[in-house]
Amino acid sequence: MFLKKAPVVKGVFFFGHALEFGRDPLTFLLKLQDNYERIAQLRIVYLKVNLLLNAEDIKYVLQENSKAFVKGRAYRVLGQVLGNGILTSHGEFWHRQRKLAQPAFYKQRLALLVDIMNDETMTLIKRWEASLQQENGSSILPMTKEMMATTLVIVTKSLFGTGIDANKIAHISQDIDTLNEILSLQMRTPVRFPMWVPTTINQRFKASSQRLDAVIQEIISTRRNALESNPEAQFDDLLQMLITAKDEETGEQMTDKQLRDEIVTLFIAGHETTAMAMSWAMYLLAQHPDIVQKMRRESNEVLGENLPNFENIRQLTYTAQVVNEVLRLYPPAWAISRQVMNDQALGEYLIPAKEQVFFCPYLLHRNKAYWTNPEEFNPDNFLPERIKQRPSYAYLPFGGGPRLCIGNNFALMEMQIMLALLVKHFDFEKMENVIPDPQITLKPKGNMPIKVRMSSEF
């Protein structure tokens, strides 16, 4: 079959679309979604990238022909911090590591994390209550900061156990922010100085990287020592699962370097994504008191005076719909990319070897071919009968195919627990319009101030 070239979007001399994309990527991409049907080719200086707009093609890339579409440039940038962990590795190595890590996310393991999520949400609730009391019943809180802090403790204790001094991790959260910021910058600029050139950015990067590594290495060594002195010791956390995981065929276990890469990967992939999703959830709920009320009724019915447990979480079906709808409108992983190894056909189009393809859950989740009134916050989009009417790949907050997010159920459970408890106690009010700022994750611009007050129904 004769294959056509992908339709090229007209760009400017030298930069191509780099400037327009850099200024406001979401508006730029939404415009392309309106004007192109299936595929549109952009150029970021010398890099050709093919934007995929159609759920069937994305399914082909992620699932049906996933071996031909590997993780490319963006993931090499991430690899500078994450090393060769599950998010960034390829082929046989990735497959083996994923197999080793997967049991850490089985349902019975996640059930053990419910208490951590409950405890940390209750700590947050107490902190907010104290602040409301001091301020005559309502308080304007920087929501992103609040959510970053609580989800940091949850992921830290889930990975390293409740015995960990969470302050240790809080100390390096500034370093993690710095690393995220630098990686995000590098992803947008196709040309950069190699790490050995002592630019200010490279020096900041190295210093933060070294501090992060030192803390993670200390955690790994402390655990190895504890296990050496008492091999019977039981630690119910993900670190333990990873340290003791054995390859079925060879019996091999992870080296310290592999452990470091996997731990940093889980830690970074699991923290900011969930924090951003929770922040956007609060922003949307602050504009929809009717939905808060409906969630509150469900929480009261299902939980009564109790905290959530692994069984009754499943009955919080409306809350689950709300979580899914938040991830539709504000998917933290707003763009996903791949590189083709050899020439590939996407329908009648040719994607030549080495070119990049990318697609945006942010666009797909607003595509009028799949959603009615896509800008409206409507949890009914996730009623079972509505889900059945859509192609499965029209909704991809966690990606899909073999590289589906390993932490999807962890994140969904965490959000469900946090939201079910927060709506029981508080009402929320939006203070200002917040627009998304697409960095590595979809962040809000500014710190998202939201007024919180005790629920009159509590």
Which parts of this chain interact with ligand HEM (CB under 6 A)? 86-87, 98, 265-266, 269-270, 273-274, 277, 332-333, 336, 397-399, 403, 405-407, 410-411
CB nearer to ligand HEM: give 351 or 406.
406
CB of 427 to ligand HEM, least distance (A): 24
356-359/336-340 β-pairing = antiparallel
Q: How far is CA 161 from the centre of its chain?
A: 22
* Furthest CA-CA distance within the chain: 72
CB of 216 to ligand HEM, least distance (A): 15
Cα dihedral: 287, 291, 293, 297 (round 10): -160
CB nearer to ligand HEM: give 332 or 379.
332
CB of 97 to ligand HEM, least distance (A): 8
Q: How far apart are CA 144 and CA 271, in angstroms?
A: 12
Cross-strand partners of 442: 438
CB nearer to ligand HEM: give 77 or 132.
77
CB of 300 to ligand HEM, least distance (A): 26
CB of 316 to ligand HEM, least distance (A): 17
CB of 200 to ligand HEM, least distance (A): 30
CB nearer to ligand HEM: give 110 or 295.
110
Q: Is the dihedral of CA 313, 318, 320, 323 positive or negative?
A: negative
Which of 90, 141, 5, 167 shows the shortest CA–CA distance to 403? 90
User: Which residue's CB comes closest to ligand HEM?
Assistant: 407
Query: What values do phi and psi take at 324, rounded to 5?
Result: -60, -40
Both tokens of 58, joined, read: 């994305």
CB nearer to ligand HEM: give 9 or 86.
86
Q: How far is CA 175 from the centre of its chain?
A: 19
CB of 3 to ligand HEM, least distance (A): 25
39-44/47-52 β-pairing = antiparallel
349-351/4-5 β-pairing = parallel
Q: How far apart are CA 269 and CA 406, in angstroms?
A: 10
Long-range residue pairs from 253-256, CB within 8 A, at least 24 positions apart, any chain:
254/97, 254/100, 256/217, 256/220
- What 3-state DSSP class applies to 21? helix
| Angle in degrees, CA 410, 413, 418, rounded to 5 | 125
CB nearer to ligand HEM: give 411 or 434.
411
CB of 185 to ligand HEM, least distance (A): 20
CB of 156 to ligand HEM, least distance (A): 11
Residues 6+ apart with CB under 8 A from 381: 321, 324, 325, 328, 371
CB nearer to ligand HEM: give 198 or 391.
391
CB nearer to ligand HEM: give 41 or 273.
273
CB nearer to ligand HEM: give 5 or 76.
76
